[in-house]
Chain A
Amino acid sequence: MKRKVSAVSKSADEIVYGLKREYLEKICSEGSRIDGRKFDETRGATVNTNFVPRAEGSAEVRLGDTRVLVGIKIEQGEPFPDTPKSGILTTNAELLPMASPTFEPGPPSPDAIELARVVDRGIRESKMIDLDKLVIKEGEKVWVVFIDMHILDYDGNLIDACSLGAVAALLEAKVPASQIGAEDFPLPINHIPITITFSKIGSNMLADPNLEEEEVEYARLSVATNENGDVVAMQKGEGGSITQEELFSAVDTSIKLGKDIRKRVLGK
């Protein structure tokens, strides 16, 4: 997500941007990052579940100074005609104007849509939730799982913060089956995907970029893996390229960090 600059301060901002970029590339080429982390080191994430008890599941995630809140609502609805024996998963992200001076109110921007779709892909493609078990009456009524992600404070790497929040909230979520005279039950979970995003600066892949790194990144790469170390989703972003070596170094780091976060942050 590149910073928008106002027309007035454009030239000044561009000079600062150029200097920042130069500086970050320089320290990265010397093997260090602006906040002292290693290239494959994430900012410690904290997850606070059941933040919104009225929701069927929720999680507040802090990743550095990035703060997102994910809420899960589960409601009855009609299945899609082509998948009558399957529940529905929908994901939405709101870049709230309170989170950054560059976020504006209004319909979702391409950035917000991409964010939601990348998070959705990690969860859907890993088959985290067993949607086939969310059927109430085949072809007529199924449970619809809504994942809504609110960005409260933006300090870079929304993809990982939102993915982690969505996974943590889904793990806690209860299907409100008491509405139809049955007992509430936890969402049927098969797998736990973890997404790790990298900023390419110079020719280095930096895991979990902060805002300053993200602003000057040349390319972005997100890799979602499951607990078996399989890759379940990927997305390259921004107008720069990556090499095959960079891709696989990111994949390897993602598998390693995924295991660590699954255990350390989610306790799984």
Chain B
Amino acid sequence: MKLINEEGLRTDGRKFNELRPIKIEVGVLNRADGSSYIEWGGNKVLVAVYGPREAFPKHTQNASRANVNARYNMAAFSVDERKRPGPDRRAVEISKVIGEALRCAVFTEQFPRTTIDVYIEVLQADAGTRIAGLTAASVALVDAGIPMKDMVVGCAAGKIDGKVVLDLNKEEDNFGQADLPMAIIPRTQEIVLLQMDGNMSRDELEEAVELSKKASMYIADLQKQALLAKYKSQENEKEGERGE
């Protein structure tokens, strides 16, 4: 299957270094301590954060820091063929790496014996769900007022038709040659999530890492704008009340 045409454009018309459209919203759930919603291409992902709250059962408590417990879950209807509900092995692994990535950024030592629960619900999947979920999760953590070094942000890069490209879509993920989901802490440029499958030479890998980093810096701005938008709208509401 041909994934790049003669003009160098991809199946959805993007250039090699072009992202799919991304939209982030903050504070979309009522009960959660923090929440966010992200649309990234055809991905629709909802994230809720609860905590820090007492870790339960008690033996899971860590006397020196908080646990960051992520639960990545795909809705049964989020994919073409119905997915059996509940965590499969893939979801267990993704939950683990997302939780570990967030732990790099959260000042966990400030909340010993507690847990910070991050619930990631994939409502519609379109390749790149773990990174979309992780990117939205850090926004939800900020919304919950949890102190962090910086927001974790990421973007996948990959290889299709022998060329390194950014942000694989579903076809590219299925028929491409490599996929590299990666997330960083923008302020320090540390890599906090990194997985890869497929086949890349060392040089291609370097190109992909650079591409992903650059895109992550751009998405970090979208995260901040989303947070800003929430507080601006609250500010406007207050002013409206005063005007009356």
Contact = CB atoms under 8 A, between A and B. Distances in A.
Given A110-B92, A235-B195, A237-B100, A14 B63 contact: yes
| Contact residues of A: prevailing secondary structure | mixed
Nearest to B208: A231
Place the interface of chain A in its size category. 35 or more
B132 to A, nearest CB: 18
A127 B178 CA distance: 12
Contact of A110 (B96, B198, B206): B96
B64 A14 contact: yes
Given A7-B59, A110-B96, A233 B196 contact: yes
Given A125-B197, A243-B191, 4 more contacts: A232-B198, A234-B180, A234-B196, A236-B193
Given A116-B89, A236-B195, A237-B100, A231 B189 contact: no
B194 A240 contact: no
Given A7-B59, A125-B197, A248-B206, A240 B93 contact: no
B192 interface: yes
B104 A234 contact: no
B202 interface: yes
A229 B209 contact: no
B89 A247 contact: no
Interface in A225-268: 226, 229-244, 247-248, 251-252, 255
Given A10-B63, A235-B194, A236-B195, A110 B202 contact: no
A226 B196 contact: no
B197 A232 contact: yes
Q: Which 10 pairs, one residue from A and one from B, show the smallest C-beta to C-beta distance?
A: A239-B103, A241-B190, A234-B196, A236-B194, A125-B197, A239-B100, A241-B192, A241-B104, A113-B92, A110-B96
B124 interface: no
Contact of A241 (B68, B191, B197): B191
B205 interface: yes
B30 interface: no
Given A242-B194, A244-B189, A231 B205 contact: yes
Contact of B191 (A10, A116, A244): A244
A226 to B, nearest CB: 7
B197 A233 contact: yes
A251 B195 contact: no
B225 interface: no
B202 A234 contact: no
B94 to A, nearest CB: 10
Nearest to A235: B195
Interface of A: 7, 10-11, 14, 110, 113-114, 116-117, 121, 124-127, 221, 226, 229-244, 247-248, 251-252, 255
Interface of B: 58-59, 63-64, 68, 89-90, 92-93, 95-97, 99-100, 103-104, 180, 185, 188-202, 205-206, 209, 213
Contacts of B103: 239
A226 B199 CA distance: 9
13 contacts: A110-B93, A113-B93, A114-B93, A114-B96, A234-B194, A234-B195, A236-B194, A239-B68, A239-B100, A241-B192, A242-B190, A242-B191, A247-B209
Nearest to A92: B89
A241 B188 CA distance: 10
A10 B112 CA distance: 14
A93 to B, nearest CB: 11
Contacts of A110: 92-93, 95-96
A12 to B, nearest CB: 11
Contacts of B197: 121, 124-125, 232-233
Contacts of B192: 236, 241
B194 A231 contact: no
B202 A125 contact: no
Given A11-B63, A232-B197, A113 B191 contact: no
Which has the most chain A C-beta neighbours within 10 Å: B180, B195, B197?
A: B197
A117 B93 contact: yes
